[in-house]
Structure 1
Amino acid sequence: MVDTTARDMWERFEPVHDLVYFAPEARRAADALGLRGYWMGYFALRAAPLGPVAPCVVTSSFYVFHPGRVARALPDAWKYAAPAEVLAARGEAMDAAMTRLFGSRAARSAELAEAADLAWEAASAADTTGRVLAAANQALERPGRATARLWQAVTTLREHRGDGHVAVLVSLGIGPLEAMVLKAAAGESDGPFLRETRKWEPTDWTAAEDALRERGFLAADGSLTRAGVAGRALVERRTDEAAGRPWRALGAERTARLAGLLEPLARAVGESGLLPPGNPVGVTLRESAGR
């Protein structure tokens, strides 16, 4: 029997993490720091745990962005706000976003505090060897407020899974553009949205499609072939396997408890309309929230 725990948990914590990209509180926090535009805010808020690193480090670890997209935001962002200031601001923003979205009573409830502590324990158990973004987030100080603690814990878990996903892609010779083409062909995201927001040229996208056709993964009409479906499934299976350690450490009973506590939070995000259609997240929010 295939163990789906890692994927099931991802479907529940990913929506909570995604508030940092789509909640208006995150954009207001970035603007208040003097960061210029959405993308400077995006890269600064996500990369801040790494410190004031060069854009090549962020391009490498984020994987799917054109280097020029990153270089337009970094290192200029650090002229406006130091990483420590950005980290403080994102914690405040996530507390505000979760309080608004989930309600002040739920945000200050014993259940949310329990979820935060369970998620923090799972995140602390994550093996961050070779996982740069996960390691940087795991090393951050434990927040006192349960909302900020929960958000930071699920962010560590999310980046842990993402780092593992990138390692799988690299091991299978699937580059950034090819990974996005496969994602779009599988119906998980909108291809033009991915290409445009990650700032790749149409010719780059076409070249990636051609490479996947040569590999036998993509049909002439852009759909996945049988080999493409199998290759995509292999990537996802290995990603799930690489993300399993936190849940084994937490144990089946407490993992199930955390899943139940995250369920209404994921549902609230899914029903809020904050995530745009065709977004690059990949998780099917409506289905996961209804389980």
Structure 2
Amino acid sequence: MRTEQYGPKNGEEAMGDGMSRAMWERYEPVHDLVYFAPEAREAADGLGMRGFWMGYFALRAAPLGAVPASVVTGSFYVFHPDRVARALPDAWAYAGPADALAARQWAMDVAMTRLFGADVVGSPEMAEAADLAWEAAAAADTAGRVLAAANQALDRPEPSHVRLWQALTTLREHRGDGHFAVLVGQGLGPVEAMVLKAAAREGDREILRDTRKWEASAWQAAESALRARGWLGEDGALTPAGAAGRAAVEAQTDAVAERPWAALGADRTERLAALLEPLARTVWDSGVLPSGNPVGVRRPHRVDTGGH
């Protein structure tokens, strides 16, 4: 199912403008349970991980195997190397990748059952959503996308809600890998990417800087580089050129994330969106996503499939 070509292939449908972003708005909150649900921290602590960040990096990086900090720093893109090096490779001395994968599946099983209810996670609609998402994830183009490829290669899990979470995680990492490639192509480094996100009000400046562990001097240097580029004003806000540049980055990110949805087709993509929307809203309404979360995801808007 894998391919090196971006966009729709022969026989696949081109999606309406905004479809890949609309799908991201629906699957990202469900995926994010692995970061913010208390069960995820419980699972990491149960493995012997020391603190939130060791658990975060171990659970997210587990599909890659027992990789060193340098690989995770490169593939996660926006974290200071010291943030990663404080967690890896030490985490693998407490639990190997296979144990971390099992722990995160357990955490998502328990968290999703608690949040959505046993009736929902055991429903035919959940099974339908899981199968649609799994098909989309299997069709994702993973050439050059390390995190997506590693997640796509994992075995198909049971029960259906855990399968749904894993499929959404593959799709999420597929989009993220593409986004990082676009940033590299635009000459935007990790700190500049965070400064742009904050300037666009898609994340709190201090939360982004602190959680990614960038020093004030690195942040200021990135701001200076963006001012020299004409993208950032002296007041820290995006200039018209900066707003246009960032919009272009986001549009290209959407474009290179389209393949799974083109393969699934507009009608079934719209069906999956309808099945995911109440799950996303439940996550939002639960308060589990922190205010000013560094992911930058917002409540989903209506899907437009371009006439379907």
TM-score (norm 2): 0.92
Whether the aligned pair in 2 keeps the contact of 1:12 and 1:289 (CA below 8 Å) is no
Q: 1:2 Cα deviation (Å)?
A: 6.0
Superposed, 1:184-199 pairs within 5 Å as 184-199=198-213
Residue 24 (structure 1) aligned to one of 22, 38, 41? 38
Map Cα deviations across residues 88-108 of structure 1 (whole Å, 9 max, x no partner): 110011011000000110011
Map Cα deviations across residues 23-81 of structure 1 (whole Å, 9 max, x no partner): 00000000000000000000000000000001000000000000000000000000000
Residue 223 (structure 2) aligned to one of 209, 212, 230? 209
Q: 1:9 Cα deviation (Å)?
A: 0.3
Q: 1:283 Cα deviation (Å)?
A: 1.4
Going from structure 1 to structure 2, the CA distance change for 1:271 and 1:288 (only over 3 Å counts) comes to farther
Q: CA RMSD in A?
A: 1.3
**Structure 2 equivalent of residue 171 of structure 1:** 185
Residue 262 (structure 1) aligned to one of 251, 254, 276? 276
**Structure 2 equivalent of residue 155 of structure 1:** 169
**Structure 2 equivalent of residue 113 of structure 1:** 127
Q: 1:3 Cα deviation (Å)?
A: 1.5
**Structure 2 equivalent of residue 245 of structure 1:** 259
Structure with greater helix share of residues: 1
- Matched to 1:261, the amino acid is L
Whether the aligned pair in 1 keeps the contact of 2:194 and 2:208 (CA below 8 Å) is yes
Whether the aligned pair in 2 keeps the contact of 1:27 and 1:41 (CA below 8 Å) is yes
2:18 is the alignment partner of 1:4:
yes
Q: 1:290 Cα deviation (Å)?
A: 11
**Structure 2 equivalent of residue 103 of structure 1:** 117
**Structure 2 equivalent of residue 50 of structure 1:** 64
For residues 66 and 95 of structure 1, what CA distance do their matches in structure 2 show?
Answer: 31
TM-score (norm 1): 0.98
For residues 60 and 54 of structure 2, what CA distance do their matches in structure 1 show?
Answer: 10
Q: 1:147 Cα deviation (Å)?
A: 1.1
Residue 232 (structure 1) aligned to one of 211, 233, 246? 246
**Structure 2 equivalent of residue 273 of structure 1:** 287
For residues 289 and 86 of structure 1, what CA distance do their matches in structure 2 show?
Answer: 36
**Structure 2 equivalent of residue 72 of structure 1:** 86
**Structure 2 equivalent of residue 60 of structure 1:** 74
**Structure 1 equivalent of residue 235 of structure 2:** 221
- Runs (4+) of structure 1 exceeding 3 A deviation are 287-291
Going from structure 1 to structure 2, the CA distance change for 1:290 and 1:8 (only over 3 Å counts) comes to closer
SS in 1 for 2:281: helix
